[in-house]
Structure 1
Amino acid sequence: MAELLALLPQRLAWHAALSAAALALGLAVALPLGFAAARRPGLRWIALAVTGLVQTIPSLALLALFYPLLLLISNLTKASLGFGFPALGFLPALLALSLYAMLPILRNTAAGLAGVDPAVTEAARGVGMTPGQSLLKVELPLAAPVILAGVRTAAVWTIGGATLATPVGQTSLGDYIFSGLQTEAWDMVLVGCAASAGLALVVDQLLGVVGRGLEQRRPVLWGGALAALGLGLAAAVAPLAAPALTPRPQAYVIGAKNFSEQYVLAELMAQRLEGRGARVERRINLGSAVAYRALAAGEIDAYVDYTGTLWANVLHRTDNPGRQMVLDTLKTELARRDGVVLAAPLGFENAYAFAMKRKRAQELGVKSLADLSAKAPNLVMGGDLEFFSRPEWAAVEKAYGFKFKSRRQFQPTFMYRALASGEADVISAFSSDGRIAADDLVVLADPKGALPPYDAVLLVSPRRAGDPDLQALAAALSDKLTVDAMRRANYAVDRDSGKQSPAAAARELAVAPR
């Protein structure tokens, strides 16, 4: 818990900064649009329809969609104007959350102004007020409580939605939640949820005081609440200001995908770099495509990927010419296409592997994927969140003609739980996962070689090619990790009792016998 709380100031600071910026941008767009929509029914219908449509898009999907869009724009500006901008992290999260904040603000602004008694506005015009004066001095004060109710709703939505910024590389309180769900570290999930809920409640109550102060025409009340909001925001983001005011060497940005092994390997790399006196930032819980694109764009400096994933997802290859040919081809093609350096294989493979409970496999007489194909119509297949959309699944499905009774997607940790509880009969496991042995699972043979090799490799971004610290890191890790050592480290994070943090597991892995 002490280790978790030590990270809280920075994560809370980024969460508060992101939420405040998104709410401010949403207000800047939605308030003027609401003023205009209150007087134009046609515009009101269009504006509410568009913002309502945005609300139908799942927030995580909207956040993810902004990243490739911004990356494309950044690449275009870099090619035409000579400069780009960071497409990972704060910007996509800011834009997506601002869109989500707009609907309640816009709807309440238009409804509040439209609800002002026409006799009042007529009286304002009768005493010689211009439309602008009538809006500012009469209509807006009367509509303020309704508008503030929309702002309160938007604030709570934005603070809650900011927890979903983690997969696009933005530090937030969601880091606790995503990592905790993956490793079943419920204390971590609790810290993230409690901090986010607490922040939302405080902001909501202070905005409520602002609303009461405006309604009662008490400037001291609403002014004091706004001052408290401003001071609270300043205090929350203070941890971000201190490093900015102190000259520091540029940090290495280490990336990781969204499962335990990646957390451990990212910590292993970060700890080695920090041991050399370097400053390191971690960007974890990235999707496969996001991680590689961010590396190629120079937004992260290094991360571990797997040759099979790169072969299928980046090079779009479906053949399997063998482990060494895959490795050699990737080293050449990634450098040619994107300038990405395949710095070193780490020495172990983490392959996709179809796994079943041993007793269930024996009952059905299933030892290979060919055997599984005949039984598939009566079985439920479980996969991780991206497996069924990956080229590897398409290749296996085509090779063996799988027709499962149903397919279900799970967070990787819950995928193993589903297999244990019988909610899934077979899952897309990972060969370096310690739970295969711990849960007495059997891995099915792949006689047709539909799945490519998945050697773990260290990738380095083009902007860090030739960096001496990363070259030293690659030399220290090259062919040094065995699959048994990796399974032990993974299981230390994933086991039910006595689990370790990824940082602690990485420290043990660093001194584990090879």
Structure 2
Amino acid sequence: MSPQVSAAFGLLPEYLAWHVLLSAAALGLGVAISLPLAVAAARRPALRWPVLGGAGVIQTIPSLALLALFFPLLLALSALSEEVTGRGFSALGFLPALLALTLYSMLPIVRNTVTGLASLDPAVLEAADGVGMTAGQKLRLVELPLAAPVIMAGVRTAAVWTIGAATLATPVGQTSLGNYIFAGLQTENWVFVLFGCAASAALALAADQLLGLIERGTARRSRALVIGGAAGLAAGVLLALLPLAAFGGPASYVVGAKNFSEQYILAELMAEKLEASGAQVRRKEDLGSAIAYRALASGEIDAYVDYSGTLWANVLGRNDNPGREQVLAELTRELKARDGVLVLGSLGFENAYALAMRQDRAQALGIASIADLSAHAPQLVMGADLEFFSRPEWKAVESAYGLRFRAQRTFQPTFMYRALARDADVISAFSSDGRIAADRLVVLTDPKGALPPYDAVILVSPKRAGDQRLLAALRPLIGKIPVEAMREANYSVDRDADKATPAQAAAALAQKLGL
């Protein structure tokens, strides 16, 4: 068995358990909310359009966007709760994912329930009235049993949708089978991508078949089929959740990471240092830049690596460039004063945004700097990662050099480098990426200093700023990682053949640097 397959199977119990718990909870809550709404809509035509329309509108929102929108909302509510009652709640991970997926599950349940109840034979309903049934008795003994097959068809659809959409919960900090897919896409680990897709599909098919037994049982009035399907679902959920008990209580520390190779490696390095001290550590990976910092400031995660330029522009809203030392000094002071966040220090290397081109293309056009690029930009295509064009850094570069490209395209960071082969002329590369040297790319100089410095820094949450165990474990990393070593570690994960896992790359980096 290959190391990648072995690693995938090793992660399966935890990922599957969380995926099942999230999906089952969202579907159960969706059914509990949707059925009463649908019954009310079926009995009151004036409610039908608002209920169905509202559920339909929610369905048109991309599921990833719906998941992301709940994080800042819950974060604000948590802060309000803490201010009023002295206690907040977790806004990262399970709760935003649960609420978003619950809403996402409602449309097929509501629609099928309304359809099933509205299409019942009027003669049957009149007969129920004729024998003196109350409205509640008629609903419970006649309407719902007759409409049950149609309702169950909606529940089956909702279950498949929910299980599939739950893979998108990873960016808001919720562990799921989507961890395979997001990490695999970033590191070009196609074994992980296929494994995550296959596991999610198998889970959806299993749930659909068991719910199908219940649907057939309701159609045939077969108690055995209904009980068999329900028992199968209950047993499957319980078996899937067993691994969560093995993880014991909550982790001592939570280490965060954004969604690219370097972040995975550094998160592993920090986690391993903490684990070596005897601490229990949980990883929260694939977080967006804004979510990662907000999660840290609110105490949802305890530490992660960010970059001084990102914090300077995105968190402090600055667009000037006073130099590396002053940026780091002001960041340390401002983040502590504003949010209580501790900047522990720089790891010793910079991972700067930089514009890069293929060497042959740059030489043919005579481009060595961004200033040279501006004259050719109207004939060129600019490629960037998913965040770059919306970031203040891009606006600063665009304004400073008057850049106007023929087209701008966004890519996952992994595919962005490959885009230089035919889909882009220039990309927003990362200076610590090993693929710059491996692909012989030219990094364009920035004579106007439009881009700020991007020192990799360890951030510690306010609640851990005085935690001596955490600080003692992480301080030995400060100033100890040269950019050459980081490039080598990154490339070991990103290269096409003989890929290392982030954990293997972190272990090799620690051994090489004596960490």
Cα offset for 1:434?
0.2
Is the CA contact (8 Å cut-off) linking 1:354 and 1:426 kept in structure 2? yes
- Worse-superposed segment, 467-476 or 437-446: 467-476
In structure 2, runs of 5+ residues without a counterpart are: none
Alignment of 1:77-226 (within 5 A): 77-226=81-230
Alignment of 1:20-419 (within 5 A): 20-244=24-248, 250-419=251-420
- What is the distance in 2 between the residues matched to 1:471 and 1:130? 67
- The SS at the match of 2:348 is strand
Residues 181-221 of structure 1: CA deviation (Å, up to 9, x unaligned): 11010111111111111110000000001000111111011
- What is the distance in 2 between the residues matched to 1:293 and 1:18? 23
Alpha carbons of structure 1 residues 479 and 368: separation in structure 2 relative to 1, 3 Å: same
Q: Give the match for residue 444 of structure 1.
A: 444
Q: Give the match for residue 499 of structure 2.
A: 499
Is the CA contact (8 Å cut-off) linking 1:255 and 1:284 kept in structure 2? yes
Cα offset for 1:474?
3.0
- The SS at the match of 1:223 is helix
Residues 238-284 of structure 1: CA deviation (Å, up to 9, x unaligned): 1112344xxx5742100000000000000111111111111110000
Return the letter of the residue paired with 2:184. G
Residues 86-114 of structure 1: CA deviation (Å, up to 9, x unaligned): 00000000000000000000000000000
- What is the distance in 2 between the residues matched to 1:410 and 1:61? 18
- The SS at the match of 2:420 is helix
- What is the distance in 2 between the residues matched to 1:162 and 1:249? 22
- What is the distance in 2 between the residues matched to 1:218 and 1:453? 69
Residues 371-403 of structure 1: CA deviation (Å, up to 9, x unaligned): 111111111111101111111011111111111
Across the aligned residues of Structure 1 and Structure 2, the Cα RMSD in angstroms comes to 1.0
Residues 9-50 of structure 1: CA deviation (Å, up to 9, x unaligned): 011000000000000111111000011111112211111111
Q: Give the match for residue 462 of structure 1.
A: 462
Is the CA contact (8 Å cut-off) linking 2:268 and 2:503 kept in structure 1? yes
Return the letter of the residue paired with 1:397. E
- What is the distance in 2 between the residues matched to 1:348 and 1:492? 18
In structure 1, runs of 5+ residues without a counterpart are: none
- The SS at the match of 1:212 is helix
Is the CA contact (8 Å cut-off) linking 2:270 and 2:474 kept in structure 1? no
Is the CA contact (8 Å cut-off) linking 2:13 and 2:240 kept in structure 1? yes
Is the CA contact (8 Å cut-off) linking 1:344 and 1:474 kept in structure 2? no
Output the TM-score relative to the length of structure 2: 0.98
- What is the distance in 2 between the residues matched to 1:485 and 1:41? 67
- What is the distance in 2 between the residues matched to 1:243 and 1:506? 23
- What is the distance in 1 between the residues matched to 2:90 and 2:58? 24
- What is the distance in 2 between the residues matched to 1:101 and 1:249? 29
- What is the distance in 1 between the residues matched to 2:321 and 2:247? 48
- Worse-superposed segment, 297-306 or 473-482: 473-482
Return the letter of the residue paired with 2:411. F
- What is the distance in 1 between the residues matched to 2:23 and 2:506? 33
- The SS at the match of 2:285 is strand
Return the letter of the residue paired with 2:364. E
Cα offset for 1:79?
1.4
- Worse-superposed segment, 97-106 or 38-47: 38-47
Return the letter of the residue paired with 2:312. W
- What is the distance in 1 between the residues matched to 2:481 and 2:14? 32
Residues 423-471 of structure 1: CA deviation (Å, up to 9, x unaligned): 0110000000000000010000101000000000000001111212221
- The SS at the match of 2:493 is helix
- What is the distance in 2 between the residues matched to 1:266 and 1:100? 32
- The SS at the match of 1:261 is helix
Return the letter of the residue paired with 2:288. G
- The SS at the match of 1:395 is helix
Match of 2:9 among 5, 23, 45: 5
Q: Which runs of 4+ in 1 moved over 4 A?
A: none
Q: Give the match for residue 431 of structure 2.
A: 431
Is the CA contact (8 Å cut-off) linking 2:274 and 2:474 kept in structure 1? no
- What is the distance in 2 between the residues matched to 1:281 and 1:61? 25
Count, aligned residues: 510
- Worse-superposed segment, 445-454 or 461-470: 461-470
Cα offset for 1:512?
1.7
- What is the distance in 1 between the residues matched to 2:189 and 2:475? 33
Is the CA contact (8 Å cut-off) linking 2:108 and 2:155 kept in structure 1? yes
Cα offset for 1:308?
0.2
- What is the distance in 1 between the residues matched to 2:52 and 2:372? 55
Output the TM-score relative to the length of structure 1: 0.98
- What is the distance in 2 between the residues matched to 1:404 and 1:242? 54
- The SS at the match of 1:67 is helix
Is the CA contact (8 Å cut-off) linking 1:183 and 1:413 kept in structure 2? yes
Cα offset for 1:513?
4.3
- Worse-superposed segment, 150-159 or 267-276: 267-276
Is the CA contact (8 Å cut-off) linking 2:277 and 2:473 kept in structure 1? no
Return the letter of the residue paired with 2:476. A
- The SS at the match of 1:257 is coil
Is the CA contact (8 Å cut-off) linking 2:480 and 2:513 kept in structure 1? no
Cα offset for 1:133?
1.0
- What is the distance in 2 between the residues matched to 1:180 and 1:471? 31
Q: Give the match for residue 472 of structure 1.
A: 472
Is the CA contact (8 Å cut-off) linking 2:251 and 2:282 kept in structure 1? no
